[in-house]
Amino acid sequence: MTVAMIVPRRLVLVTGPSGAGRSSAIRVLEDLGYEAIDNMPVRLIRALLNDPMPDKPVALGIDPRNRDFSSTAISDALGQVAGVPGLVPELLYLDCRMDVLLNRFSETRRRHPLAEADRVEAGILREKELLAPVRERADVLLDTSDLNVHQLRAEVEHWFSPGEQTQLAVAVQSFSYKRGLPRSVDMVFDCRFLKNPYWEPELRTKTGLDSDVKSHIWSDPRAAEFEARLRDLLLWQLPSVLDEGKSHLSVAFGCTGGQHRSVAMAETLAAALAEAGWQVSIRHRELDRRKREEASA
């Protein structure tokens, strides 16, 4: 007797505060070949699961403005999806800083859906409070505060390209402690103890992508040992992360300005992981921000 094999398919629930990019993410998923439905009432997910599912991944945009929205309803929906053979449920949460959301609503002159009169800030706070328990359940949390539409597309494609769910996708990034910790990372490593190129006038305006900056950092004897220990740790840990059933892991390297040491270390570790056969993407938060500022100047 031949036993039919069930090919796992993704069902991605997409949510987050208004203005953070939910609809944009849904459009990217649709372009990737997902059966995409935006503004899906949570109560209708059960009915959707009772119908024959399309033979491709599915993405459902969940709008907090829907009257049946609650953290309990989302939790129940994930449980229902998990009980369907062949479906792999994932929750994508798109977040954004308060100041950026305020600016986006100001630029578009849109009224916040949960705001009374013109009190946009109050509406954003109310929505974030409503979404807080859902955010904690996210499988993938993308902070869109510093992302343009092209970078958002690249991030969504990285995490959700069809056919990649059996692999572990590792996202590596650098950042500046002065601008705060990234909000969507699993592991953070501090590079501030290493020799700082900032204090060398000829290196100050360069970055960790430049060879002379890398040479300066690696002239610190602690740099090579730090990199080797982290490489061994990650290469030892990643198979266990994959065995646990996770499909995403994000790793961040920080330094004072996010320009030299963290960039060089992120580049080196990302290259080592890729050489070992892991699926890796890399992003330098502060360098990306600087490029945007220079382009708009």
Is 72 a domain residue? yes
Supply the DSSP string of 105-165, one letter for each residue: HHHHTPPPTT-STT-HHHHHHHHHHHHHHHHHT-SEEEE-TT--HHHHHHHHHHHH-TT-T
Range of lowest pLDDT (47-61, 101-115, 120-134, 265-279)? 101-115
pLDDT greater at residue 293 or residue 149: 149
| Same-domain pairing of 88 and 222 | no
- % of the chain surpassing 70 pLDDT: 89
Whole-angstrom distance, CA of residue 240 vs CA of residue 147: 31
Q: Given 160, 192, 222, which residue is the final one in a domain?
A: 160
| Same-domain pairing of 173 and 151 | no
pLDDT band of residue 109 (cuts 50, 70, 90) is low
Whole-angstrom distance, CA of residue 119 vs CA of residue 155: 32
| Same-domain pairing of 175 and 153 | no
Q: What is the CATH number of the domain that holds 73?
A: 3.40.50.300
| Same-domain pairing of 136 and 183 | no
Is 198 a domain residue? yes
pLDDT greater at residue 92 or residue 245: 92
| Domain extent for 19 | 9-160
Whole-angstrom distance, CA of residue 184 vs CA of residue 141: 5
How is the chain split among helix, strand and coil, in percent rounded to 5? 45, 20, 35
| Same-domain pairing of 118 and 46 | yes
Is 176 a domain residue? yes
Task: Say yes or no to pLDDT of 132 above 90.
Answer: no
- Report the 3 state secondary structure along 225-241: HHHHHHHHHHHHHHHHH
| Same-domain pairing of 94 and 216 | no
pLDDT the model gives residue 108: 59
- pLDDT digit string, tens, across residues 190-239: 999 999 999 999 999 999 999 999 999 999 999 999 999 999 999 999 99
Whole-angstrom distance, CA of residue 60 vs CA of residue 11: 8
pTM of the model: 0.59
Task: Say yes or no to pLDDT of 4 above 80.
Answer: no
Pair 210, 260: CB distance under 8 Å: no
Beta-carbon count within 10 A of 133 CB: 13
| Same-domain pairing of 136 and 194 | no
Is 61 a domain residue? yes
| Same-domain pairing of 148 and 187 | no
Q: Given 160, 179, 200, which residue is the final one in a domain?
A: 160
Order the strands of the 248-255 sheet from edge to edge: 187-190, 248-255, 169-176, 279-284
Q: Residue 281 phi/psi, 5° resolution?
A: -125, 155
Task: Say yes or no to pLDDT of 22 above 70.
Answer: yes
pLDDT the model gives residue 190: 97
| Same-domain pairing of 154 and 175 | no
- pLDDT digit string, tens, across residues 142-181: 999 888 888 888 888 888 887 544 467 888 999 999 988 8
Is 263 a domain residue? yes
Is 283 a domain residue? yes
State the total domains in the chain. Answer: 2
